[in-house]
Amino acid sequence: MEQEQTVENESKPSSVKSEAWEWIKALLIAGGLVFIIRTFIFSPFIVEGPSMEPNFHTSERLIVNKILYDFRAPQRGEVIVFHATEDKDYIKRVIALPGEKVRVEGDKVFVNNQQLDEPWLKQALDDAAKKGIPYNTRNFAEKTVTEGSVFVMGDNRSNSADSRDIGFIEYDRIVGRADIIFWPMKDLKWIH
């Protein structure tokens, strides 16, 4: 009987060490996965400022897909996050693609001399028209988007530092596409 008790006592410290080692391995793997996912695949982003209203608001938190543009180029209408300066990222909407001619005249945006349909601004444009005021007060003379770049604008056209000010956005400055608003919870949605 004593011998059995001794065997049980000897195995307990070993099982505690084994369980602790399993927890350490699990935490290291989880930490590694979080690092890989945040560095290469998805990243959180916080909206700052009014430049994307009425569709995005200050303090909303987004999930940015960082890997998508490794497989394909940005497309018109997508909302992207990019490095505006060395320490500042912006969120804007892709309006024109490489090689396209773009110009802005009041509330109308033209790409290759065709007025762009912007369903994401329909309500804001209709509201401004009902009040008899222009939604956009900043025009842009026609230019051709350079290769490897996009022309971006904020949804709040009169109050946005975008390609009209900072120029075309090169692909290598793009962090990724905004895919999900996840905070606040009442605004949780996929971004189309």
**CATH T-level assignment (fold) for domain 47-190:** Umud Fragment, subunit A (2.10.109)
Q: How far from 144 is each of 23, 101, 103, 104, CA to CA, in Å?
A: 57, 4, 9, 13
Q: Which helix (H) or strand (E) holds 189?
A: strand 189-190
Specify whether 17 is catalytic: no
Instruction: State the catalytic residue, choosing from 51, 149, 160, 163.
Output: 51
pLDDT along the chain (192 residues), means of 10: 48 71 74 60 80 90 88 94 90 96 95 95 92 92 96 94 94 91 78 76
Instruction: Choose among 88, 78, 52, 61: nearest CA to 173.
Output: 88
Distant-in-sequence, close-in-space partners of 7: CB < 8 Å, separation ≥ 6: none
Confidence at residue 31, expressed as pLDDT on a 0 to 100 scale: 65
Tens of pLDDT, residues 135-162: 999 999 999 999 999 999 999 999 999 9
Q: Is the peptide bond before 119 cis (omega within 30 degrees of 0)?
A: no
116 φ, ψ (degrees, to nearest 5): -80, 130
Instruction: State the catalytic residue, choosing from 66, 92, 149, 160.
Output: 92
Q: How far is residue 30's CA from residue 40's CA, in Å, rounded to a whole number? A: 15
Spell out the domain ranges in the chain: 1-42, 47-190
Tens of pLDDT, residues 162-174: 999 999 999 999 9
pTM of the model: 0.77
According to DSSP H, which parts of 99-147 are helical?
122-131
Burial tier of 103 (Cβ tally within 10 Å: 0-12, 13-18, 19+): middle
Q: Which helix (H) or strand (E) holds 14?
A: helix 2-36
Q: How far is residue 97's CA from residue 152's CA, in Å, rounded to a whole number? A: 9
Distant-in-sequence, close-in-space partners of 74: CB < 8 Å, separation ≥ 6: 80, 94, 97, 150, 171, 174, 177
Specify whether 51 is catalytic: yes
Q: How far is residue 131's CA from residue 120's CA, in Å, rounded to a whole number? A: 19
